């Protein structure tokens, strides 16, 4: 593999092996974090994951259930080690605390679990997933709005300052979201736009205006990252991701206990995952309003591919590189119809319900995002075929007895 | 006076008098907060001020000095009452705490001082100054960056949720900053721009990209306000203010002890105020780099006028109304030369020093902001004449013995 060899600016710390690249995954216990950790570990990278169990605690507090029980992050890392011989070092800590963040770079880190507790060294790459990721969560009430705002911005701010202070050459891969753009009446470019006005021109971030507080915090993240890039020449890739679907990745074939956290409720479950669970327990699919809300979607395996390709071809110093990380677009109606079609072919009845929209959003709108950049650096998209949906139905069907109908919908509105 | 009479949606609370409008000033102890409070009190409004003494504590912690001692907010309110018979109710509290913010609307408020401690009622208008306002402060190190980020965003977030939950008809007047726009290569419109792209059009917030972390938090404030306006039909006026200069306002003629907090250091002092102090103690004026940095400026008396005119003609429900709140533009060199000219005519020697720029900013750039909106609603600008500068020299000269040369410049760089 063609691993980028970049010099570090701090002589003090060193890597355990000059052959392996070190990747630090913030939010390594989450839906995307854990599969990403296994993916890179499998490829021979040194991997460190950090998490404060935010999602698990939220699941408990909000009583939303999970499709199946998931071992703790330490238990999963130990299992991974026993099955593959590879080490994923684990730090349980809250990254809103600047001291925890900085310990990951200044060698004061305390591993909660590691086979070899010596400091791995500065990371070549940080993948930043350590955010509260749910729009409805952010709008339950003012308390959850504040948690979302402070969690997401403090972690991001601590990250850019730690990288600036200790490891300015580290490549930050940040999960953004297509939701930052909203649904403008013009084509959505990949992050940037040239504006001509009164005969003069300049380049700007593509306009962003989100329709949830969570998505608004992601706009703010972009503001912070762009500030760090301009002021301190940080190297940042921002992956503007659409809703992700899927369960299994290559690594989960090794052992089912390695499967990622899977939520199916309105708060923490993403739309396609949730629709399949609803179909399995004969809960009518909950389309909001007219169902013309169109978004870009991608398979969880493509998230891994996108992050990996971004890591292999990092942003330059002083570059905020932005990719629209989606593989295809669907309206809510189209997704519901796909699930209905496949579900019915498998013997599920699958009804579709059009609820009064609990959100304030356009139910019919223009939507034309560009998404060429990731393909250009080598990503081979997986599309949402009937086969993919059928595969998800089969896994979800195995856990039918765990599904709680009472937590699927509660109608958080804003 | 033509006072807007707006209905409140919560029957529980009521105003003490139907003749007076109630204005709530967040950050009422600050450089602009206290003069604003006196201005509205003088005009017959019910005024409540809230502050946690953030600036005073910062002055102590950072050892930056003040031109003269300033009585506590309570002492000033008592003095104001004894001199004018008018009441400015005082709440000492931290608005990052949602419960403090919400108490201002749900009648649980505890006044730290008031002649009449009965709840005044919902405010028709909130003026939001309760932010950490300094670019260098925000970039001393990661700790001050975090304080700036969390203070400014939590207060703003708590405010929009409290208004949504208790008083959706309240008009929020928010201090923004011209620094949000940065120095783009196109004309700066008042907040908004229509973008035509691939044959389609839409309206967006004018692009923002600031050159300090503080200014970046103000961009984020705008994101929050715009979210609240779109989702909940809040009524918001955003005053994109340039650096303010000046000391005395109409109300300080009543008694010198009513003068506003005046800082003259690099962190909390704004450029013109600081230059005059430097000139008085024969400290060469500190122009950064080439000195071509051009910004829009305004007199403290015009801030009061702008806020007052905005209050009289409030934004509509569901409107984020944006004004560029400046009266004229100058480069750093032009400001230094003006101070030098007037200072020399008064017998001060006044040298100008071009320091290596401690900041990352363009020292020569295009700058063409529009600022017509406030004039259109009735503001009569005060310009920066030699007479105005001379008046400032006279006041500062009276306090020459208090000025600490050692705190004027410390070279915080980013």
**Residue A283 annotated to the active site:** no
Segment B203-212 mean pLDDT: 97
| Cβ contacts of B218 on chain A, cutoff 8 Å | none
Q: Residue A354 burial by CB count (10 A; 0-12/13-18/19+): exposed, middle or buried?
A: middle
Q: How far apart are CA B293 and CA B135, in angstroms?
A: 15
- The strand pair at A88-92 and A125-128 is best described as unpaired
Interface contact B194, partner A, CB < 8 A: no
- A residues 257..276 contacting B (CB < 8 A): none
Interface contact B163, partner A, CB < 8 A: no
Q: What digits encode the pLDDT tens for the residues B74-106?
A: 999 999 999 999 999 999 999 999 999 999 999
Measure in Å the smallest separation between the Cα of B193 and chain A Cα atoms: 9
| Cβ contacts of A98 on chain B, cutoff 8 Å | 142-143, 146
Q: Where residue B256 falls among pLDDT bands split at 50, 70, 90? A: very high
- Supply angle C-alpha A87, A92, A97, rounded to 5: 130
**Residue A329 annotated to the active site:** no
3-state secondary structure chain A: CCCCCCCCCCCCCCCCCCCCCEEEEECCCCCCHHHHHHHHHHCCCEEEEEECCHHHHHHHHHCCCCCCCCCCHHHHHHHHHHHHCCCEEEEECCCCCHHHHHHHHHCCCCCCECCCCCCCCCCCEEEECCCCCCHHHHCCCHHHHHHHHHHHHHHHHHHHHHHHHHCCCCEEEEEEEHHHCCCCCCCECCCEEEEEECCEEEEEECCCCCCCHHHHHHHHHHHHHHHHHHHHCCEEEEEEECCEECCCCHHHHCCHHHCCCCCCCCCCCCHHHHHHHHHHCCCCEEEECCCCCEEEEEEHHHHHHHHHHHHHCCCCCCEEEEEEECCEEEEHHHHHHHHHHHHHHCCCCCCEEEECCCCCCCCCCCCCECCCHHHHCCCCCCCCCHHHHHHHHHHHHHCHHHCCHHHCCCCCCC
Contact A185 B202 (CB under 8 A): yes
Interface contact A187, partner B, CB < 8 A: yes
- The distance of Cα A299 from the centroid of its chain, to the nearest Å, equals 11
Residue B8, pLDDT > 50, answer: no
Q: How far apart are CA B160 and CA B166, in angstroms?
A: 10
Contact A197 B200 (CB under 8 A): no
Q: Which of A177, A249, A260, A327 is catalytic?
A: A177
Give the nearest chain A residue to B152 (CA atoms): A150
Segment B226-231 mean pLDDT: 98
Helix (H) or strand (E) segment spanning residue B294: strand B294-299
Q: Which of A31, A45, A129, A214 is catalytic?
A: A214
Q: How far apart are CA B136 and CA B413, in angstroms?
A: 8
Measure in Å the smallest separation between the Cα of B44 and chain A Cα atoms: 34
Q: Which of B31, B129, B214, B371 is catalytic?
A: B214
pLDDT attached to residue A284: 98
Cβ–Cβ under 8 Å, residues B197 and A204: no
Q: Which of B36, B96, B177, B237 is catalytic?
A: B177
- A residues 85..104 contacting B (CB < 8 A): 98, 102
The sign one gets for the Cα dihedral A373, A184, A154, B63 is positive
Interface size A-B, in CB pairs within 8 Å, comes to: 136
Q: Residue B411 burial by CB count (10 A; 0-12/13-18/19+): exposed, middle or buried?
A: exposed
Q: How far apart are CA A255 and CA B267, in angstroms?
A: 57
Interface contact B153, partner A, CB < 8 A: yes
pLDDT attached to residue A19: 55
Lay out the sheet containing B244-245: strands in order across: B244-245, B294-299, B328-331
Q: How far apart are CA B153 and CA B96, in angstroms?
A: 8
Picking from A198, A256, A263, A226, the residue whose alpha carbon sits closest to that of residue A30 is A263
Interface contact A227, partner B, CB < 8 A: yes
Segment B123-150 mean pLDDT: 98
Query: How far is the CA of B130 from the CAs of A245, A314, B28, B154, in angstroms?
Result: 42, 40, 8, 10
Q: How far apart are CA B176 and CA B147, in angstroms?
A: 18
Cβ–Cβ under 8 Å, residues B252 and B70: no
Measure in Å the smallest separation between the Cα of A79 and chain B Cα atoms: 37
* Spans of chain A below 50 pLDDT: 1-18
- Supply angle C-alpha B202, B206, B210, rounded to 5: 150
**Residue A214 annotated to the active site:** yes
Closest partner residue to A201 (CB to CB) among B186, B210, B226 is B186
Contact A150 B154 (CB under 8 A): yes
- B residues 101..120 contacting A (CB < 8 A): 102
Contact A230 B207 (CB under 8 A): no
SS3 call for B44: coil
Interface contact A157, partner B, CB < 8 A: yes
Interface contact B398, partner A, CB < 8 A: no
| Cβ contacts of A145 on chain B, cutoff 8 Å | 157, 161
Which of B162, B202, B212, B412 should be substituted to probe chain A, the one whose Cβ sees the most A Cβ atoms within 10 Å? B202
Q: Which of A48, A218, A327, A338 is catalytic?
A: A218
Residue B11, pLDDT > 50, answer: no
Which of A139, A148, A151, A186 should be substituted to probe chain B, the one whose Cβ sees the most B Cβ atoms within 10 Å? A186
Measure in Å the smallest separation between the Cα of B92 and chain A Cα atoms: 22
Q: Where residue B17 falls among pLDDT bands split at 50, 70, 90? A: very low
Query: How far is the CA of A59 from the CAs of A265, A396, A400, B413, in angstroms?
Result: 10, 19, 19, 43
Measure in Å the smallest separation between the Cα of A176 and chain B Cα atoms: 16
- The distance of Cα A413 from the centroid of its chain, to the nearest Å, equals 23
């Amino acid at each position: 593999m063609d691993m980028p060899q970049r010099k570090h600016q701090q002589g003090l710390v060193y890597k355990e092996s000059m052959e392996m690249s070190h990747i630090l995954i913030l939010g390594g216990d989450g839906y995307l974090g854990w599969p990403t950790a296994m993916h890179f570990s499998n490829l021979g990278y040194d991997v460190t994951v950090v998490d404060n169990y935010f999602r698990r605690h939220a699941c408990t507090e909000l009583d939303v259930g999970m499709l199946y029980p998931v071992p703790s992050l330490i238990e999963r890392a130990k299992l991974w080690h026993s099955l593959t011989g590879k080490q994923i070092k684990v730090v349980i800590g809250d990254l809103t605390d600047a001291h925890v963040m900085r310990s990951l770079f200044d060698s004061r880190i305390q591993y909660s679990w590691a086979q070899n507790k010596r400091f791995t060294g500065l990371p070549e790459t940080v993948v930043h997933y350590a955010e509260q990721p749910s729009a409805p969560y952010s709008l339950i009430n003012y308390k959850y709005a504040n948690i979302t705002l402070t969690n997401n911005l403090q972690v991001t701010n601590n990250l850019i300052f730690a990288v600036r202070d200790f490891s300015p050459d580290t490549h930050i891969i940040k999960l953004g979201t297509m939701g930052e753009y909203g649904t403008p009446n013009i084509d959505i470019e990949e992050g940037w736009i040239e504006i001509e006005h009164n005969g003069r021109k300049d380049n700007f971030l593509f306009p962003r205006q989100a329709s949830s507080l969570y998505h608004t915090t992601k706009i703010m993240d972009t503001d912070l990252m762009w500030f760090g890039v301009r002021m301190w020449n940080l190297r940042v890739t921002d992956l503007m991701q659409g809703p992700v679907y899927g369960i299994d990745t290559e690594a989960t074939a090794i052992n089912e206990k390695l499967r990622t956290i899977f939520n199916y409720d309105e708060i923490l479950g993403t739309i396609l995952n949730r629709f399949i669970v609803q179909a399995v327990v004969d809960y009518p699919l909950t389309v909001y309003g007219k169902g013309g809300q169109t978004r870009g979607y991608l398979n969880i395996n493509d998230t891994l591919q996108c992050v990996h390709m971004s890591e292999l071809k990092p942003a330059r110093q002083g570059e905020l590189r932005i990719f629209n990380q989606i593989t295809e677009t669907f309206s809510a109606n189209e997704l519901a119809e796909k699930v209905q079609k496949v579900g019915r072919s498998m013997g599920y009845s699958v009804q579709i319900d059009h609820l009064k929209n609990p959100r304030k959003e356009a139910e019919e709108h223009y939507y034309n995002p560009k998404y060429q950049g990731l393909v250009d650096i080598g990503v081979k998209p997986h599309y949402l075929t009937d086969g993919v949906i059928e595969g998800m139905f089969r896994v979800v069907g195995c856990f039918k007895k765990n599904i709680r109908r009472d937590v699927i919908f509660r109608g958080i509105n804003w």
